[in-house]
Structure 1
Amino acid sequence: MKKAGIIMIIGSLLLLGLFKFPLWNIMLGAPQYPDPLGMNIYIDGIQGVEEFDLQNIDGLNHYIGMKTIPKADEMWEFAVFPKVILGMVILGVVIGLLGFLKKISYKFFLGWFVLMSVLGILGMYDFNNWLIDYGSNLDPHAILKLNNPDGTPMTYKPPLFGFQKLLNFDVTSLPHTGGYLMFVGMTLTLVAFWLGRKTSLKKATQ
């Protein structure tokens, strides 16, 4: 269990990368923008990939009636997410230490992974709802009012994951460094569970 406990601790600590690196990235490319515009989404706010990217994106969105990109204090998520991540890091380290000292079952490693997975799914659900509102709740007095072929108002929701064509923009939405660190960290906690289970079964057969 000692090795499993150490891996559990390392996996949990990797989540601290979310306080330094972006969780997600959305890039917008178009012929008039040789250098794509982009936004990096952190757990505590949104920043432009380059200095004036958010300003330029807001300027474009104004013509079609989209809201401005929210500031950190305009979304409750940016106040709550850092606390949730820090709480999960502390919980994971405590579980790892107790596992290292053989005070708890390896099953707690899996319990942490399941809880983190549920929180991650809820976070992605919330993020997708924000994208829907961001891309479809348009100002009726916008300068440009574009319709789909069937006559319904066009929406501009960026993809949650992957690539999508919005007007003449190529929009790509993918995890960033923080997101990959979180994925690796969660995978390590599964490795810790597997090692703990293997050790426990080996002792049971002796």
Structure 2
Amino acid sequence: MKKASFLMMIGPLFLLGLYFFPLWNIMLGAPQYPEPLGMNIHIDGIQGVNEFDIQNIDGLNHYIGMKTLPKSEDMWEFSTFPLIIGGMVALGVLVGLLGYFKILSPNWFVGWFILMSILGVLGMYDFNAWMVDYGTNLDPNAIMKLANPDGTPMTYKPPLFGHVKMLNFDVTSLPSSGAWMMFTGMMLTVLAFLLGRKTWKSKPKQAKLQTMKVKVKK
């Protein structure tokens, strides 16, 4: 149980990488841009991959009526997500510590994983909803008004995951280093649960064997 508890304490600490590394990355490549434009989505804001990427992306978006990219103070998520991650790290370490002292069973380890997974899904849903609004709620007075072949207004929602062609841009959206650190940490908590459950189940059997030995000696 001690090894499992150590893993449970270490796993959530990987989430601290989200304070230093981007969670998601969106890249836009086009012939007129030898070096693609990129955005790194952090839990507390959006940053350009290169110095002037955000400025250039906003300039392009202006022509088709898209909003400028939000600053940290423009979205409540960028002030709330760091608090949630910090709370989950603290909770995970506490659960691991209580497991070490055999106050909590390994079921609490997987409970933390399930809670973190739910929060992750909600975060992805919120991120996708923002991109839908960002790519479809266009300024009607935009300089360029483009339409699909069927006559409906063209939308410019970036993909949540994967690649899409938008006009002459290749847009790719993928998890970044922070997301992979979070994934690694969560998998460690699953491993902690499996290891801890095995140890936890063996205890009653060992106790029965010891009881039987005492009776035999008598």
Number of the residue aligned with 2:3: 3
Partner of 2:146: helix, strand, or coil?
coil
Distance 2:137 2:115 in 1: 32
Distance 1:39 1:28 in 2: 9
Number of the residue aligned with 1:29: 29
Number of the residue aligned with 1:64: 64
Partner of 1:144: helix, strand, or coil?
coil
Partner of 2:109: helix, strand, or coil?
helix
RMSD: 0.6
Distance 1:61 1:196 in 2: 52
Greater C-alpha Rg: 2
Specify the code of the residue in structure 2 equivalent to 1:75. Answer: M
Q: Which runs of 4+ in 1 moved over 3 A?
A: none
Distance 2:68 2:105 in 1: 49
Measured after TM superposition, the shift of residue 205 of structure 1 is: 2.5
Partner of 1:85: helix, strand, or coil?
helix
Number of the residue aligned with 1:168: 168
Partner of 2:170: helix, strand, or coil?
strand
Number of the residue aligned with 1:130: 130
- Alignment size in residue pairs: 206
Listed one character per residue, the Cα deviations across residues 161-204 of structure 1 (whole Å, up to 9, x for unaligned) are 01111111000000111000000000000000001101012223
- The answer to whether the aligner puts 1:198 opposite 2:207 as a matched pair is no
Distance 2:10 2:162 in 1: 29
Number of the residue aligned with 2:216: none
Specify the code of the residue in structure 1 equivalent to 2:21. Answer: F
Listed one character per residue, the Cα deviations across residues 116-173 of structure 1 (whole Å, up to 9, x for unaligned) are 0000000000000000000000000001000001100000000000111111100000
Number of the residue aligned with 2:179: 179
Distance 1:5 1:89 in 2: 14
Unaligned runs of 5+ in 2: 207-218
Specify the code of the residue in structure 2 equivalent to 1:37. Answer: L
Number of the residue aligned with 1:140: 140
Specify the code of the residue in structure 1 equivalent to 2:113. Answer: F
- The answer to whether the aligner puts 1:41 opposite 2:41 as a matched pair is yes
Measured after TM superposition, the shift of residue 101 of structure 1 is: 1.3
Number of the residue aligned with 1:114: 114
Listed one character per residue, the Cα deviations across residues 79-122 of structure 1 (whole Å, up to 9, x for unaligned) are 00000000000000000111111111110001100000000000
Distance 2:153 2:204 in 1: 64
TM-score using structure 1 length: 0.99
Unaligned runs of 5+ in 1: none
Listed one character per residue, the Cα deviations across residues 19-62 of structure 1 (whole Å, up to 9, x for unaligned) are 00000000000000010000000000000000000000000000
Partner of 2:38: helix, strand, or coil?
strand
Partner of 2:133: helix, strand, or coil?
helix
